[in-house]
């Protein structure tokens, strides 16, 4: 089998790069062994603001302009819906936070996304002594549904195989690579935290942060907005809500913990007063990088080997945007921004 791209991994990064290739009429093959679950269990939230510090995320406008239309076109193509635009309200816990919100709303770079008019949430089930700040252009992506439907789509196109990738079987030639019966012009590794098993890219500083979250049922919560505080609550329909998330920089397993459970329960009980039932408790490892920037680029020795990784907690907006950046870099030689290129890492490794 001859293809243009062999893609390893089918999380948000792998899906987005696969679809980007198909939109440009490239032949692809995607291999995935489901060893990584961060896309499947993700909250899927997207918003253009860092809610702890009231600052804009890197390249927010460009990410929104690329990624939201990308998902909408994909919905049309697959005949389903998995992107939902929902208001996000940031709980303001004291006068200082309220004043900081007003100050942020006056900044030209932020006024497009946050309003100086504070919101009152008429919901007795949500505990709050102060008002809420509203963030525009927010919502969530049903990442589990997207992964399932897109995988089935790839299967119908005969360009997906559920199997473990064995690095020892990769043969690198001058102008192509071979893997078993596949010959590809390039191979793109989109493995998330699985990069640590990759002998070609495991020297990059992808750390990984474990996160745990709940799915709860709360019949009297009646939320139509995403609420962000010490945790977030996301309505997903039928009185069900996702609640998350914890951050653990030491534990790299996908096992649910009593510590994570207790942290979520404690924070949730401080935020809502109604009864709830925990339906599911999930855990995964986010592909995070120490400098909070993704990892894109070409291997320093092998020109056919590329990486798309390190999307962290911003995968919904990052994935289509970065996939296009990497594709344009490979196909048209358009340089990658220094902030996302792995050249920044290689400079430190080999100086």
* Domain spanning 88-135+209-286, CATH class: alpha beta
% of the chain beyond a pLDDT of 90: 91
Contacts of 81 (CB under 8 A, 6+ apart): 75
Helix ranges (H only) for the chain are: 12-23, 38-41, 60-78, 95-105, 143-156, 258-271, 315-332, 343-349
The Cα–Cα gap between 305 and 307 comes to 7
Same fold: 2-42+144-205+290-349 with 88-135+209-286: no
Strand partners, 309: 295
pLDDT tens figures, 72-118? 999 999 999 999 999 999 999 999 999 999 999 999 989 899 988 99
The fold of 2-42+144-205+290-349 is FAD/NAD(P)-binding domain (3.50.50)
Instruction: List the one residue out of 252, 237, 140 whose CA is nearest residue 196.
Output: 252
Report the phi/psi class of residue 217: left, alpha or beta, with left for phi > 0 and alpha for psi in -120 to 50. beta
pLDDT tens figures, 29-65? 999 998 888 888 889 999 999 988 889 999 999 999 9
Half-sphere exposure (CA, 13 Å, Cβ side) for 245? 23
Helix ranges (H only) for 83-241 are: 95-105, 143-156
The Cα–Cα gap between 188 and 186 comes to 7
Q: Is the pLDDT of residue 256 over 80?
A: yes
pLDDT tens figures, 141-180? 999 999 999 999 999 999 999 999 999 999 999 999 999 9
pLDDT at 41: 86
For the question of whether the overall pTM of this predicted structure is more than 0.85, the answer is yes
Domain ranges of the chain: 2-42+144-205+290-349, 88-135+209-286
Is residue 326 helix, strand or coil? Answer: helix
Q: Is the pLDDT of residue 203 over 80?
A: yes
Rg value, the chain, Cα: 21
């Amino acid at each position: 089998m001859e293809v243009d791209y062999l893609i390893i991994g089918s999380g948000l990064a792998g899906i987005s790069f696969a679809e980007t290739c198909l939109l440009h009429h490239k032949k692809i093959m995607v291999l995935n062994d489901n060893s990584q679950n961060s896309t499947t269990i993700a909250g899927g939230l997207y918003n253009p603001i860092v809610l702890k510090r009231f600052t804009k995320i890197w390249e927010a406008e460009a990410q929104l302009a690329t990624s939201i239309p990308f998902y909408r076109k994909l919905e049309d193509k697959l005949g389903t819906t998995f992107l939902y635009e929902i208001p996000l309200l940031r709980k303001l816990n004291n006068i200082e936070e309220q004043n900081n919100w007003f100050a942020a709303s006056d900044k030209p770079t932020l006024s497009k996304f946050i309003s100086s008019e504070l919101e009152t949430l008429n919901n007795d089930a949500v505990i709050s002594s102060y008002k809420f700040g509203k963030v525009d252009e927010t919502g969530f992506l049903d990442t589990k549904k997207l992964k399932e439907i897109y995988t089935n789509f790839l299967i119908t196109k005969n360009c997906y195989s559920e199997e473990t990738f064995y690095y020892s079987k990769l043969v690198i030639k001058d102008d192509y690579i071979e893997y078993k019966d596949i010959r590809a012009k390039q191979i793109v590794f989109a493995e998330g935290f699985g990069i640590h098993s990759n002998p070609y890219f495991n020297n990059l500083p992808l750390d990984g942060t474990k996160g745990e979250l709940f799915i709860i049922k709360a019949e009297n919560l009646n939320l139509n907005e995403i609420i962000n505080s010490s945790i977030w609550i996301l309505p997903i329909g039928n009185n069900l809500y996702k609640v998350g998330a914890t951050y653990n920089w030491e534990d790299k397993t996908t096992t649910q913990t009593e510590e994570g459970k207790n942290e979520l329960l404690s924070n949730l009980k401080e935020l809502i007063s109604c009864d709830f039932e925990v339906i599911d408790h999930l855990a995964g490892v986010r592909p995070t990088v120490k400098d909070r920037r993704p990892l894109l680029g070409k291997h320093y020795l092998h020109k056919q080997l590329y990486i798309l990784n390190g999307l962290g907690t911003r995968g919904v907006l990052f994935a289509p945007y970065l996939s296009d950046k990497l594709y344009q870099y490979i196909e048209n030689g358009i340089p990658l921004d220094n902030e996302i290129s792995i050249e920044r890492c290689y400079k430190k490794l080999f100086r």
